[in-house]
Structure 1
Amino acid sequence: MRVLHFVTGGFSGATKVAIDLVEAHNEIESTENLLVLRRKKTTVPEKFAELEEKDIDYEVVTGITHMATIHELKKLCEQWRPDILVAHGFPEHLLGRRAGLLAKVPYLVQVEHNSQERYTPWKLYQTRKLSKSTASIIAVSEGVAQVLSGQGLKAPIQAIPNGIDTTRFGGMNLLPINERPQDLIMVGRYAKSKDHVTLIEALHQLKQKSIKPNLTLVGSGRKYYQKEIHNLVERYELHDQVTFIGYSSEVDKLLLQHKVFVMSSRFEGLNLAVLEAMASGCVVVGSQAIGVKELIEDKEDGFLFPIGDAAELAGIIETILSNPSNYQVLATAAREKVLSYYDETRVTKAYHDLFQKLLSGS
């Protein structure tokens, strides 16, 4: 079985899922895997070190224009001759499947990683047309599957929720919440959808009440949004409370130092950072966005707040930090949930089972 995974080279959540799948499936003797990245501005050499350390075979195709991407990927498919092409995310699933069709790849698989994408009428027409030649469409959460079901697609849709490496995040001897030295952390790329603004607004409201928790922001992303958040922090004079960390390969260590994880996103597919924080024993606070709210049972294993509601978020943070040990039970329940339902071994097996089913024609 030869499987080619095509995904953005922006090293987003979709890229991480593709990397995890390739790494896991490389352990299966009967499977050969190739990761193909579409070059982005953030596709820098230092990010390839992780792939090389994991012995992942990868190629990078141009991202200059869509037609150029399709042309290079088509040529690569003709050379490598995959049995299955798995195209992750938007617009990569359009480009990847078009290239796969031109190269006569036997089976095409679309993986949708988000609940809201920039589908113009033309793009929606393309994805509907491509679905007729697609063997399977995978949604990374039930919420995403529901969105896809309304697009008029012809291929079968199934949900395979994303998972994480539970051997990396957490551990056996986690510090209890009240003994962790840092207060708040958010891990996520800088983009409008992540809505860092609401979190900074909440921090500002807390400061006006003389409550001054520290906050660590981890992630890279669009310079425009990074500048917006830096400017907002300066405007509210929160620079003594906020620490900015760019792309980090040590998120697992950072999470263990923090009491509360916040995800203020406006929409997601299924947020891996939330799962990582839950596995790490943080008290998790998330917005009611698709891809976040289905991971958290409010006041049972975390907290939910309305999208964009800084006042509600500030109130939740104040409540938790006033007596963190009261919420240890929520953090423990969240970790147990991830260990039971969101371990990546379940995910990689589900993908491999699907690939075998496609090749067997069953």
Structure 2
Amino acid sequence: MKVLHFVTGGFSGATKVAVDLIASHNKIAHVDNLLVMRRKKTTTLEKLSELDDKNINYELVTGSTHIATVRELKKICQKWQPDILVAHGFPEHLLGRQAGLLAKVPILIQVEHNSKERYTPWKLYQTRKLSKHTDKVVAVSKGVAQVLTEQHLEAPIQAIPNGIDTERFGGINPVAILDRPKDLIMVGRYAKSKDHVTLIEALHQLKQRGFAPSLTLVGDGRKQYKQQVNSLVERYGLQSQVNFIEYSREVDTLLSQHKVFVMSSRFEGLNLAVLEAMASACVVIGSRAIGVEELIEDQRDGFLFPIGDATALADIIETILSKPVDYQSLALSAREKVLAYYNQQKVTQAYYQLFQDLLTSH
């Protein structure tokens, strides 16, 4: 079985899912995998070195124009001759399937990682047309599956929730909340959809109440939006409270040092960072966004707040940090949920079974 995964080279959540799938499927003797990434500004040598460390076979194609991307990917398909092409995310699922069709790849799969994308009428027409030639559309959450259903695609849709490495995050005995030296952490790329601004606004409100928790922000992304966040931190005089970390290969260690994880997104597919924080037994606070809300049962294994509501978020943070020991059992409940339902091994097995079924029926 030869499987080609095509995804953005921006090392987003979609890239991480593709890499994790390949790393797991590489352990199966009769599965040959190739990762092809569309080059982005954030496709750095440091990030590519991680692929080498994991023995991931990969190639890069240009991101200059969509036509050039399709042309280069088509050539790779013709040379490598995959049985299955898995195209992850938007717009890569359009470009990937176009190249796969031109190269006559037998089986095409679309994986949708987000609940809200920039679908113009033309792009929506393209995805509906391509769905006629697509063997399966995979949604990474129930919320995403519902969004795809509303697109009236002709290909069958299957929900396969994302998973994480539960051995890496949290370990066997996660650090108790009271023994963690730092307060708040958010892990996510800088983009308006992640809504770091609401978190900074909440931190400002807490400062006005005489409450000054520390906050670690981990991620890179759009420079303009990151500058907006930086400017807001400076305007409110929060520099001593906020620590910016652009990129880290030790997110698991960082999570174990923090009491509370916050995800303030306006929309998601299925947020991996939330799962990693839950597995690490942080007390998790998430917005009521698709791809976040379905992971958290409010006040049972985490907390939910209305999208963009800085006051509600500040109230929850103050409640937790005023007496964090009261929320140790809640954090452990979140961890147990991830271990039971979002284990990476279950996810990779589900994809492997999908590939086997499609090959058998093709």
In which range does the TM-score fall when normalised by the shorter chain?
over 0.9
| Distance in 2 between residues matched to 1:171 and 1:113, nearest whole Å | 27
CA deviations over 1:172-193 (Å, ceiling 9, x no partner): 2222111210000000000000
| Distance in 1 between residues matched to 2:155 and 2:71, nearest whole Å | 25
| Distance in 2 between residues matched to 1:249 and 1:144, nearest whole Å | 28
| Distance in 1 between residues matched to 2:311 and 2:282, nearest whole Å | 21
Match of 2:136 in 1: 136
Q: CA deviation at 1:46?
A: 1.2
Q: 2:243 is paired with a residue of what secondary structure?
A: strand
Match of 2:308 in 1: 308
Q: 2:33 is paired with a residue of what secondary structure?
A: strand
Are 1:76 and 2:62 matched, yes or no? no
| Distance in 2 between residues matched to 1:117 and 1:149, nearest whole Å | 14
Letter in 1 for 2:335: R
Are 1:18 and 2:18 matched, yes or no? yes
Match of 1:29 in 2: 29
| Distance in 1 between residues matched to 2:294 and 2:241, nearest whole Å | 31
Q: 1:327 is paired with a residue of what secondary structure?
A: helix
Q: Which moved more, 1:169-178 or 1:255-264?
A: 169-178
User: For residues 51-62 of structure 1, what are the structure 2 equivalents within 5 Å?
Assistant: 51-62=51-62
User: For residues 1-362 of structure 1, what are the structure 2 equivalents within 5 Å?
Assistant: 1-361=1-361
Structure 1 runs (4+) deviating above 4 angstroms are none
Q: CA deviation at 1:45?
A: 1.1
Q: CA deviation at 1:89?
A: 0.1
Q: CA deviation at 1:215?
A: 0.1
CA deviations over 1:334-355 (Å, ceiling 9, x no partner): 0000000000000000000000
Sequence identity, in percent?
A: 73
Q: For structure 2, which runs of at least 5 residues remain unmatched after alignment?
A: none
| Distance in 2 between residues matched to 1:80 and 1:240, nearest whole Å | 53
Letter in 2 for 1:275: L
| Distance in 2 between residues matched to 1:273 and 1:7, nearest whole Å | 19
Letter in 1 for 2:39: R
Q: CA deviation at 1:19?
A: 0.1
Q: CA deviation at 1:247?
A: 1.4
| Distance in 2 between residues matched to 1:169 and 1:49, nearest whole Å | 21
Q: For structure 1, which runs of at least 5 residues remain unmatched after alignment?
A: none
Q: 1:294 is paired with a residue of what secondary structure?
A: helix
| Distance in 1 between residues matched to 2:98 and 2:53, nearest whole Å | 31
Q: TM-score, normalised by structure 1?
A: 1.00
| Distance in 1 between residues matched to 2:178 and 2:311, nearest whole Å | 24
Q: CA deviation at 1:44?
A: 1.1
| Distance in 1 between residues matched to 2:119 and 2:137, nearest whole Å | 17
| Distance in 2 between residues matched to 1:306 and 1:79, nearest whole Å | 50
| Distance in 2 between residues matched to 1:42 and 1:100, nearest whole Å | 25
Letter in 2 for 1:262: V
RMSD: 0.6
| Distance in 1 between residues matched to 2:351 and 2:281, nearest whole Å | 28
CA deviations over 1:127-162 (Å, ceiling 9, x no partner): 000000000000000000000000010000000000
| Distance in 2 between residues matched to 1:15 and 1:175, nearest whole Å | 29
Q: 2:359 is paired with a residue of what secondary structure?
A: helix
Q: 1:281 is paired with a residue of what secondary structure?
A: coil
Letter in 1 for 2:287: S
Letter in 2 for 1:156: P
